[in-house]
Amino acid sequence: MMDTSLTSGQQAETLALHYLKAQGLKPLQQNFRCRFGEIDLVMQENNAIVFVEVKYRRNKQWGGGLAAITQSKQRKLKLTALHYLQRHQAYANHPCRFDALVIEGALIEPSYQWVTNILSD
């Protein structure tokens, strides 16, 4: 089977979901899309809603995954998260945060870097 970036991205998101579940987070939604953008994973940790951006890099040749979360991407994440909260009123009063989960290396034995509160002000 051909290993396209879409397939690798989907595999990385599945790995990220399993990794975060093992850390105690509860999945709420995968690939939430609206006109502002997409959020890869929406999770819940205790009372907090966690919006997770998943980045997969086979190697660091073109920069690490965190470098890909630019100011523009951060603005889109914020707008998309606001839209999610408007559509899911049950979570509207919960505290929220934005995390990144960077997966690097071969998908068979990847390394994980989970960074909480990634958005800059």
> Tell me, what's the pLDDT at 69?
85
Q: Tell me phi and psi for residue 60, to 5 degrees.
A: -95, 20
Predicted structure pTM score: 0.89
Distance CA 49, CA 12 (A): 21
* pLDDT (tens digit per residue) in 35-70: 999 999 999 999 999 999 999 888 766 667 788 888
Strand partners, 34: 37
**Distance from CA of residue 29 to its chain's centroid?**
11
The token pair at 101 is 């989960």
Distance CA 20, CA 26 (A): 8
- The 3-state DSSP class for residue 26 equals strand
Q: Which domains does the chain have, with CATH numbers?
A: 5-115 (3.40.1350.10)
